[in-house]
Each structure stands twice: as structure tokens, then as C-alpha cells.
Amino acid sequence: MTEQAKKYLSDILAAIGLVEEFSKDSPTFPSYQADLKTKSAVERQLEILGEAVNKYSKETPEFPLSNVPRIISFRNRLAHNYDNVDDAIVWAVMKEHLPVLKQEATEYLEK
């Protein structure tokens, strides 16, 4: 794996770590919805994560991550369709999909 690919994995893990940190004060979906600062911070980190996943997948196709097309599509929606972001989808990504991505990125980085 190239050093650049490792950097992208580190960026992915850093973004996930920040999402976890930012969202810890909003442990329920209603509290997340009501916290505009947290929503904004989480959405920004998910954009960064999506960009890093996109670059990583092009750099290192031999070490694939799960759901790359969906992650990239979600990133594009956050960035370009900002006025129509569904909080429930963001919440589901945070709670269901980020743990899987975190595990995969960690395993690849440790190889």
C-alpha cells in the first residue's frame, strides 16, 4: 500500500473520530436534530470522509472498502444538495455505517 493510500485511510479515521467526538453530546436522534452546530460539524466531516474514500478507492483498488459508491454519492449530496439533507440518513450513517468503515480502515492501515 502506498504512503498516499495510508494518508487517505488516516484521513478517513480522523473524520470518523471527529464525528464520534462531535456527536457524543447528542446521543439521541431528537437531540442531534435540535443541535445545529453538531449537525453542521458532522456533515462537514462526512464530506471530508467521502472525499478521502473516493481518493483512496482510486489509489488502492486492491484493498477495497465497503459501500464506496454509496459513500461517494452521499458525500456529493451533502456538498451539492446541502439544502435537502435528511437528518435521519445522516444519523443512520453515523450509527450503522461508520463503525464498519472504521473497522475496515483500521485493519488496512495496520497491514
The pTM of the full predicted model, rounded to 2 decimals, is 0.94
- Tell me what percent of the chain is helix, strand and coil, each rounded to the nearest 5: 80, 0, 20
| Confidence at residue 82, expressed as pLDDT on a 0 to 100 scale | 83
Q: What value does the CA radius of gyration of the chain take, rounded to a whole number of Å?
A: 14
- From 44, 70, 75, 97, the catalytic residue: 75
CA 29 and chain centroid, separation: 18
Query: Is 77 in the active site?
Result: no
Query: Is 70 in the active site?
Result: no
Residue 15: give the domain boundaries.
3-110
Report in angstroms the alpha-carbon separations of 85 from 3, 35, 71: 34, 15, 14
Please check whether residue 14 is in contact with residue 102, taking contact to mean a CB–CB distance below 8 angstroms. no
Amino acid type, 90: V
Q: Is the pLDDT of residue 85 over 90?
A: yes
Q: Is 4 helix (H, G, I), strand (E, B) or coil?
A: helix
Could you give the CA distance from residue 33 to residue 17 in angstroms, rounded to a whole number?
20
Q: What is the pLDDT of residues 35-47, one digit of tens each?
A: 999 999 999 999 9
| Confidence at residue 111, expressed as pLDDT on a 0 to 100 scale | 82
Domain count along the chain: 1
- From 44, 70, 80, 97, the catalytic residue: 80
Answer with the residue of higher pLDDT: 84 or 48: 48
